[in-house]
Structure 1
Protein backbone atom coordinates (compact mmCIF):
# COMPACT_ATOMS: atom_id res chain seq x y z
CA UNK A 1 0.00 0.00 0.00
CA UNK A 2 1.33 3.47 -0.93
CA UNK A 3 2.39 6.08 1.65
CA UNK A 4 -0.31 8.45 0.42
CA UNK A 5 -3.00 5.84 1.03
CA UNK A 6 -1.68 5.20 4.54
CA UNK A 7 -1.67 8.96 5.28
CA UNK A 8 -5.28 9.30 4.17
CA UNK A 9 -6.33 6.44 6.42
CA UNK A 10 -4.52 8.04 9.40
CA UNK A 11 -6.24 11.37 8.75
CA UNK A 12 -9.62 9.71 8.58
CA UNK A 13 -9.35 7.38 11.56
CA UNK A 14 -6.43 8.62 13.66
CA UNK A 15 -2.99 7.02 13.84
CA UNK A 16 -3.97 4.05 16.01
CA UNK A 17 -7.08 3.21 14.08
CA UNK A 18 -5.24 3.90 10.86
CA UNK A 19 -2.64 1.27 11.69
CA UNK A 20 -5.40 -1.27 12.35
CA UNK A 21 -7.06 -0.50 9.04
CA UNK A 22 -3.75 -0.69 7.20
CA UNK A 23 -3.11 -4.17 8.59
CA UNK A 24 -6.66 -5.23 7.76
CA UNK A 25 -6.30 -3.88 4.22
CA UNK A 26 -3.03 -5.77 3.78
CA UNK A 27 -4.74 -9.00 4.84
CA UNK A 28 -7.60 -8.37 2.38
CA UNK A 29 -5.20 -7.60 -0.46
CA UNK A 30 -3.29 -10.78 0.36
CA UNK A 31 -6.48 -12.85 0.32
CA UNK A 32 -7.50 -11.28 -3.00
CA UNK A 33 -4.12 -12.18 -4.49
CA UNK A 34 -4.61 -15.79 -3.46
CA UNK A 35 -8.05 -15.81 -5.11
CA UNK A 36 -6.59 -14.37 -8.30
CA UNK A 37 -4.03 -17.15 -8.41
CA UNK A 38 -6.84 -19.59 -7.77
CA UNK A 39 -7.06 -23.04 -9.27
CA UNK A 40 -7.02 -24.23 -12.86
CA UNK A 41 -9.21 -22.44 -15.42
CA UNK A 42 -12.36 -24.46 -16.25
CA UNK A 43 -11.92 -26.38 -19.51
CA UNK A 44 -14.71 -24.48 -21.26
CA UNK A 45 -12.96 -21.15 -20.66
CA UNK A 46 -9.50 -22.09 -21.87
CA UNK A 47 -8.30 -19.97 -24.79
CA UNK A 48 -11.39 -17.78 -24.63
CA UNK A 49 -11.40 -15.07 -27.27
CA UNK A 50 -11.65 -11.65 -25.64
CA UNK A 51 -10.94 -9.64 -28.77
CA UNK A 52 -13.22 -6.66 -29.53
CA UNK A 53 -14.62 -8.41 -32.60
CA UNK A 54 -16.05 -11.11 -30.36
CA UNK A 55 -16.77 -9.18 -27.17
CA UNK A 56 -19.22 -6.84 -28.85
CA UNK A 57 -21.55 -9.82 -29.21
CA UNK A 58 -20.42 -11.60 -26.05
CA UNK A 59 -23.78 -11.42 -24.29
CA UNK A 60 -25.44 -13.24 -27.16
CA UNK A 61 -22.92 -16.04 -27.54
CA UNK A 62 -24.57 -18.73 -25.43
CA UNK A 63 -28.01 -18.89 -26.94
CA UNK A 64 -30.32 -21.50 -28.40
CA UNK A 65 -30.38 -20.70 -32.10
CA UNK A 66 -33.28 -23.07 -32.71
CA UNK A 67 -35.66 -20.76 -30.86
CA UNK A 68 -35.77 -18.60 -33.98
CA UNK A 69 -38.33 -20.61 -35.88
CA UNK A 70 -38.74 -17.91 -38.51
CA UNK A 71 -35.22 -18.21 -39.94
CA UNK A 72 -34.21 -20.51 -42.78
CA UNK A 73 -31.02 -21.76 -44.39
CA UNK A 74 -30.97 -23.12 -47.92
CA UNK A 75 -29.29 -26.26 -49.20
CA UNK A 76 -29.87 -26.08 -52.93
CA UNK A 77 -33.61 -25.55 -53.31
CA UNK A 78 -34.36 -27.08 -49.90
CA UNK A 79 -35.24 -24.77 -47.00
CA UNK A 80 -34.10 -25.86 -43.55
CA UNK A 81 -35.15 -24.52 -40.16
CA UNK A 82 -32.42 -23.90 -37.61
CA UNK A 83 -33.84 -26.80 -35.58
CA UNK A 84 -33.40 -29.11 -38.57
CA UNK A 85 -29.85 -27.89 -39.03
CA UNK A 86 -28.63 -27.95 -35.42
CA UNK A 87 -30.92 -29.93 -33.13
CA UNK A 88 -29.37 -33.08 -31.68
CA UNK A 89 -26.00 -32.45 -33.34
CA UNK A 90 -22.53 -31.22 -32.41
CA UNK A 91 -21.67 -28.72 -35.11
CA UNK A 92 -18.79 -26.49 -36.12
CA UNK A 93 -20.51 -23.47 -37.67
CA UNK A 94 -18.34 -21.55 -40.14
CA UNK A 95 -19.28 -18.21 -41.67
CA UNK A 96 -17.47 -16.99 -44.77
CA UNK A 97 -17.91 -13.79 -46.80
CA UNK A 98 -16.83 -15.27 -50.16
CA UNK A 99 -13.67 -14.80 -52.16
CA UNK A 100 -10.30 -16.49 -52.75
CA UNK A 101 -9.47 -16.97 -49.04
CA UNK A 102 -12.73 -18.85 -48.55
CA UNK A 103 -12.50 -21.02 -51.66
CA UNK A 104 -8.77 -21.73 -51.59
CA UNK A 105 -8.00 -21.92 -47.85
CA UNK A 106 -10.85 -21.65 -45.37
CA UNK A 107 -13.32 -24.29 -46.58
CA UNK A 108 -10.65 -26.66 -48.02
CA UNK A 109 -8.99 -26.60 -44.60
CA UNK A 110 -12.13 -28.07 -43.05
CA UNK A 111 -12.46 -30.62 -45.85
CA UNK A 112 -8.89 -31.76 -45.19
CA UNK A 113 -9.56 -32.08 -41.45
CA UNK A 114 -13.05 -33.61 -41.74
CA UNK A 115 -11.94 -37.10 -40.70
CA UNK A 116 -10.10 -35.71 -37.67
CA UNK A 117 -13.11 -33.59 -36.70
CA UNK A 118 -15.42 -36.59 -37.03
CA UNK A 119 -13.21 -38.65 -34.71
CA UNK A 120 -13.53 -35.90 -32.10
CA UNK A 121 -17.34 -35.98 -32.11
CA UNK A 122 -18.16 -33.31 -34.69
CA UNK A 123 -21.30 -34.39 -36.53
CA UNK A 124 -21.20 -31.66 -39.17
CA UNK A 125 -19.16 -28.69 -40.33
CA UNK A 126 -21.72 -26.22 -41.65
CA UNK A 127 -20.26 -23.43 -43.78
CA UNK A 128 -22.74 -20.59 -44.21
CA UNK A 129 -22.62 -17.48 -46.36
CA UNK A 130 -25.04 -14.76 -47.45
CA UNK A 131 -25.68 -15.60 -51.09
CA UNK A 132 -28.19 -17.15 -53.46
CA UNK A 133 -28.78 -20.87 -52.87
CA UNK A 134 -27.88 -21.81 -56.46
CA UNK A 135 -24.53 -20.02 -56.21
CA UNK A 136 -23.70 -21.75 -52.93
CA UNK A 137 -24.72 -25.11 -54.41
CA UNK A 138 -22.41 -24.41 -57.35
CA UNK A 139 -19.53 -23.67 -54.97
CA UNK A 140 -20.19 -26.92 -53.07
CA UNK A 141 -20.03 -28.87 -56.34
CA UNK A 142 -16.82 -27.08 -57.32
CA UNK A 143 -15.25 -28.11 -54.00
CA UNK A 144 -16.38 -31.71 -54.47
CA UNK A 145 -18.87 -31.71 -51.58
CA UNK A 146 -21.52 -34.26 -52.40
CA UNK A 147 -24.26 -36.00 -50.45
CA UNK A 148 -23.03 -37.46 -47.18
CA UNK A 149 -20.06 -35.14 -46.84
CA UNK A 150 -19.27 -34.04 -43.29
CA UNK A 151 -18.67 -30.50 -44.60
CA UNK A 152 -21.82 -28.84 -45.94
CA UNK A 153 -22.39 -25.45 -47.55
CA UNK A 154 -25.61 -23.59 -46.75
CA UNK A 155 -26.98 -20.30 -48.02
CA UNK A 156 -28.19 -17.64 -45.61
CA UNK A 157 -30.24 -16.22 -48.45
CA UNK A 158 -31.84 -13.30 -46.65
CA UNK A 159 -29.03 -12.70 -44.14
CA UNK A 160 -31.29 -13.58 -41.22
CA UNK A 161 -28.81 -15.84 -39.45
CA UNK A 162 -25.89 -13.43 -39.76
CA UNK A 163 -28.09 -10.65 -38.33
CA UNK A 164 -29.08 -12.95 -35.47
CA UNK A 165 -25.38 -13.38 -34.66
CA UNK A 166 -24.64 -9.67 -35.09
CA UNK A 167 -21.97 -10.43 -37.70
CA UNK A 168 -23.25 -8.68 -40.81
CA UNK A 169 -20.67 -6.73 -42.78
CA UNK A 170 -21.18 -3.98 -45.34
CA UNK A 171 -24.01 -1.61 -46.13
CA UNK A 172 -27.64 -2.77 -46.21
CA UNK A 173 -28.08 -0.36 -49.14
CA UNK A 174 -25.54 -2.27 -51.26
CA UNK A 175 -26.99 -4.05 -54.28
CA UNK A 176 -26.29 -7.49 -52.85
CA UNK A 177 -27.01 -6.45 -49.25
CA UNK A 178 -24.62 -6.99 -46.31
CA UNK A 179 -22.31 -10.00 -46.25
CA UNK A 180 -21.06 -11.84 -43.16
CA UNK A 181 -17.79 -11.52 -41.34
CA UNK A 182 -15.46 -14.50 -41.23
CA UNK A 183 -16.33 -16.47 -38.09
CA UNK A 184 -16.43 -19.96 -36.64
CA UNK A 185 -18.28 -21.31 -33.63
CA UNK A 186 -19.24 -24.45 -31.74
CA UNK A 187 -22.94 -25.32 -31.58
CA UNK A 188 -24.13 -28.11 -29.31
CA UNK A 189 -27.73 -29.28 -29.75
CA UNK A 190 -28.66 -25.87 -31.12
CA UNK A 191 -26.86 -23.84 -28.44
CA UNK A 192 -24.01 -21.60 -29.58
CA UNK A 193 -21.26 -22.22 -27.01
CA UNK A 194 -18.22 -20.45 -28.45
CA UNK A 195 -17.65 -18.01 -31.26
CA UNK A 196 -14.50 -16.66 -32.89
CA UNK A 197 -14.40 -13.79 -35.37
CA UNK A 198 -11.54 -12.63 -37.58
CA UNK A 199 -10.48 -8.99 -37.24
CA UNK A 200 -10.75 -8.56 -41.01
CA UNK A 201 -12.30 -10.81 -43.68
CA UNK A 202 -8.89 -11.38 -45.28
CA UNK A 203 -7.53 -12.92 -42.06
CA UNK A 204 -7.53 -16.63 -41.36
CA UNK A 205 -5.97 -16.79 -37.91
CA UNK A 206 -8.62 -17.94 -35.41
CA UNK A 207 -11.39 -19.51 -37.53
CA UNK A 208 -9.37 -22.04 -39.54
CA UNK A 209 -9.87 -25.77 -39.04
CA UNK A 210 -6.79 -26.33 -36.89
CA UNK A 211 -7.72 -23.46 -34.55
CA UNK A 212 -11.23 -24.84 -34.15
CA UNK A 213 -9.84 -28.30 -33.42
CA UNK A 214 -7.88 -26.77 -30.53
CA UNK A 215 -10.98 -24.94 -29.33
CA UNK A 216 -13.00 -28.18 -29.54
CA UNK A 217 -10.39 -29.89 -27.34
CA UNK A 218 -10.82 -27.17 -24.72
CA UNK A 219 -14.59 -27.54 -24.65
CA UNK A 220 -14.60 -31.33 -24.89
CA UNK A 221 -11.28 -32.49 -23.38
CA UNK A 222 -12.41 -36.12 -23.27
CA UNK A 223 -13.23 -36.19 -26.98
CA UNK A 224 -9.56 -36.51 -27.89
CA UNK A 225 -8.56 -39.28 -25.49
Structure 2
Protein backbone atom coordinates (compact mmCIF):
# COMPACT_ATOMS: atom_id res chain seq x y z
CA UNK A 1 0.00 0.00 0.00
CA UNK A 2 1.27 3.47 -0.89
CA UNK A 3 1.93 5.86 1.95
CA UNK A 4 -0.46 8.80 2.15
CA UNK A 5 -0.83 12.13 3.89
CA UNK A 6 -1.29 11.56 7.62
CA UNK A 7 0.79 8.36 7.69
CA UNK A 8 3.99 7.99 9.71
CA UNK A 9 7.08 7.03 7.76
CA UNK A 10 8.25 3.46 8.47
CA UNK A 11 11.45 2.69 10.33
CA UNK A 12 14.40 2.23 8.02
CA UNK A 13 18.15 2.56 7.87
CA UNK A 14 19.77 4.54 5.09
CA UNK A 15 23.38 4.56 3.95
CA UNK A 16 25.24 7.80 3.46
CA UNK A 17 28.79 9.02 2.97
CA UNK A 18 30.32 11.40 5.49
CA UNK A 19 33.74 13.02 5.76
CA UNK A 20 34.65 10.08 8.02
CA UNK A 21 33.46 7.48 5.50
CA UNK A 22 30.32 5.35 5.16
CA UNK A 23 27.64 5.85 7.81
CA UNK A 24 24.07 4.86 8.57
CA UNK A 25 21.14 7.12 9.33
CA UNK A 26 17.83 5.86 10.67
CA UNK A 27 14.42 7.24 9.94
CA UNK A 28 14.55 8.85 13.39
CA UNK A 29 17.90 10.51 12.61
CA UNK A 30 16.51 12.06 9.45
CA UNK A 31 12.92 12.90 10.43
CA UNK A 32 12.41 13.07 14.23
CA UNK A 33 11.50 16.56 15.37
CA UNK A 34 12.17 18.05 11.92
CA UNK A 35 10.38 19.25 8.84
CA UNK A 36 11.88 17.36 5.93
CA UNK A 37 11.43 17.48 2.19
CA UNK A 38 12.25 14.07 0.74
CA UNK A 39 12.26 13.43 -2.96
CA UNK A 40 12.78 10.07 -4.59
CA UNK A 41 14.36 9.40 -7.93
CA UNK A 42 14.77 6.29 -10.08
CA UNK A 43 18.53 6.70 -10.15
CA UNK A 44 21.49 8.98 -9.67
CA UNK A 45 22.85 10.47 -12.88
CA UNK A 46 19.83 9.31 -14.91
CA UNK A 47 18.79 12.04 -17.37
CA UNK A 48 15.66 13.49 -15.74
CA UNK A 49 17.00 13.03 -12.21
CA UNK A 50 20.36 14.62 -12.95
CA UNK A 51 19.39 17.36 -15.38
CA UNK A 52 15.92 18.33 -14.14
CA UNK A 53 14.84 17.02 -10.72
CA UNK A 54 17.91 17.53 -8.50
CA UNK A 55 19.00 20.90 -9.97
CA UNK A 56 15.76 22.61 -8.92
CA UNK A 57 16.26 21.55 -5.32
CA UNK A 58 19.89 22.68 -5.39
CA UNK A 59 18.90 26.04 -6.87
CA UNK A 60 16.03 26.64 -4.44
CA UNK A 61 17.50 25.02 -1.31
CA UNK A 62 17.83 28.30 0.60
CA UNK A 63 14.29 29.36 -0.27
CA UNK A 64 12.88 25.97 0.75
CA UNK A 65 14.81 26.01 4.02
CA UNK A 66 13.68 29.59 4.57
CA UNK A 67 10.12 28.29 4.72
CA UNK A 68 10.87 26.23 7.83
CA UNK A 69 12.35 23.09 6.28
CA UNK A 70 15.21 21.62 8.31
CA UNK A 71 16.42 19.06 5.77
CA UNK A 72 16.10 18.47 2.04
CA UNK A 73 16.95 14.87 1.18
CA UNK A 74 17.02 12.78 -1.96
CA UNK A 75 16.70 9.00 -1.93
CA UNK A 76 17.53 6.44 -4.60
CA UNK A 77 18.26 2.74 -4.80
CA UNK A 78 21.89 3.40 -5.62
CA UNK A 79 24.85 2.58 -3.39
CA UNK A 80 26.23 5.28 -1.11
CA UNK A 81 29.33 5.81 -3.24
CA UNK A 82 27.25 6.57 -6.34
CA UNK A 83 25.05 8.91 -4.30
CA UNK A 84 28.15 10.66 -2.93
CA UNK A 85 29.62 11.04 -6.43
CA UNK A 86 26.28 12.47 -7.61
CA UNK A 87 26.28 14.96 -4.74
CA UNK A 88 29.79 16.12 -5.57
CA UNK A 89 29.19 16.28 -9.33
CA UNK A 90 26.04 18.34 -8.74
CA UNK A 91 27.57 20.64 -6.12
CA UNK A 92 24.58 19.73 -3.96
CA UNK A 93 25.98 20.09 -0.44
CA UNK A 94 22.68 21.58 0.78
CA UNK A 95 20.95 18.26 0.04
CA UNK A 96 21.24 15.08 2.12
CA UNK A 97 21.82 12.07 -0.13
CA UNK A 98 20.27 8.85 1.18
CA UNK A 99 21.17 5.49 -0.29
CA UNK A 100 18.51 2.75 -0.12
CA UNK A 101 20.41 0.11 -2.11
CA UNK A 102 17.89 -2.72 -1.73
CA UNK A 103 14.97 -0.26 -1.98
CA UNK A 104 13.71 -1.42 1.43
CA UNK A 105 12.38 2.00 2.47
CA UNK A 106 11.11 2.72 -1.04
CA UNK A 107 9.14 -0.55 -1.04
CA UNK A 108 7.90 0.03 2.53
CA UNK A 109 6.29 3.32 1.48
CA UNK A 110 4.78 1.67 -1.59
CA UNK A 111 6.67 3.75 -4.12
CA UNK A 112 8.82 1.10 -5.73
CA UNK A 113 9.18 0.94 -9.48
CA UNK A 114 9.83 -2.37 -11.16
CA UNK A 115 12.34 -1.25 -13.76
CA UNK A 116 14.11 -4.10 -15.54
CA UNK A 117 16.24 -1.58 -17.41
CA UNK A 118 17.90 -0.75 -14.06
CA UNK A 119 18.15 -4.41 -13.04
CA UNK A 120 16.27 -3.97 -9.77
CA UNK A 121 13.50 -2.13 -7.99
CA UNK A 122 13.95 1.63 -8.06
CA UNK A 123 11.97 4.55 -6.68
CA UNK A 124 9.09 6.11 -8.50
CA UNK A 125 9.67 9.82 -8.88
CA UNK A 126 8.04 11.37 -5.81
CA UNK A 127 8.30 14.22 -3.34
CA UNK A 128 6.95 14.48 0.16
CA UNK A 129 7.01 16.77 3.12
CA UNK A 130 7.13 15.17 6.56
CA UNK A 131 6.83 16.85 9.94
CA UNK A 132 8.30 14.76 12.74
CA UNK A 133 8.01 11.71 10.48
CA UNK A 134 4.37 12.27 9.51
CA UNK A 135 3.62 12.87 5.84
CA UNK A 136 1.89 16.22 5.31
CA UNK A 137 2.29 16.39 1.51
CA UNK A 138 2.89 13.72 -1.12
CA UNK A 139 3.13 13.93 -4.88
CA UNK A 140 4.02 11.13 -7.29
CA UNK A 141 4.99 11.98 -10.84
CA UNK A 142 2.43 10.69 -13.33
CA UNK A 143 4.36 11.26 -16.55
CA UNK A 144 7.66 9.41 -17.02
CA UNK A 145 10.61 11.63 -17.80
CA UNK A 146 9.20 14.69 -16.05
CA UNK A 147 9.70 16.24 -12.63
CA UNK A 148 6.90 18.78 -12.54
CA UNK A 149 4.59 17.53 -9.79
CA UNK A 150 7.58 16.51 -7.68
CA UNK A 151 10.04 19.30 -8.35
CA UNK A 152 11.21 22.18 -6.21
CA UNK A 153 8.50 24.52 -7.55
CA UNK A 154 5.76 22.08 -6.48
CA UNK A 155 7.32 21.78 -3.01
CA UNK A 156 7.60 25.56 -2.66
CA UNK A 157 3.92 25.85 -3.57
CA UNK A 158 3.01 23.17 -1.00
CA UNK A 159 4.97 24.90 1.75
TM over 0.5: yes
2:158 matched to 1:215? Answer: yes
Residues 128 and 153, structure 1, Cα contact 8 Å, conserved in 2: yes
Moved over 3 A (4+): 173-176
Residues 181 and 201, structure 1, Cα contact 8 Å, conserved in 2: no
2:26 alignment counterpart: 81
2:150 matched to 1:204? Answer: no
Pick the structure with more helix per residue: 1
Residues 169 and 180, structure 1, Cα contact 8 Å, conserved in 2: yes
2:128 alignment counterpart: 185
* Bigger Rg over Cα: 1
Q: Give secondary structure in 1 for the equivalent of 2:91.
A: coil
1:29 alignment counterpart: none
Q: CA RMSD in A?
A: 1.8
1:142 alignment counterpart: 89
Q: Displacement, 1:119?
A: 1.2
Distance of aligned partners of 1:175 and 1:125 in 2 relative to their CA distance in 1, 3 Å threshold = closer
What is the distance in 2 between the residues matched to 1:64 and 1:205? 25
**Structure 1 segments unaligned to the other structure (5+ residues):** 1-55, 217-225
Q: Displacement, 1:105?
A: 1.3
Residues 182 and 200, structure 1, Cα contact 8 Å, conserved in 2: no
2:36 alignment counterpart: 91
2:98 matched to 1:154? Answer: yes
1:118 alignment counterpart: 65
Residues 90 and 123, structure 1, Cα contact 8 Å, conserved in 2: yes
Aligned residue pairs, count: 153
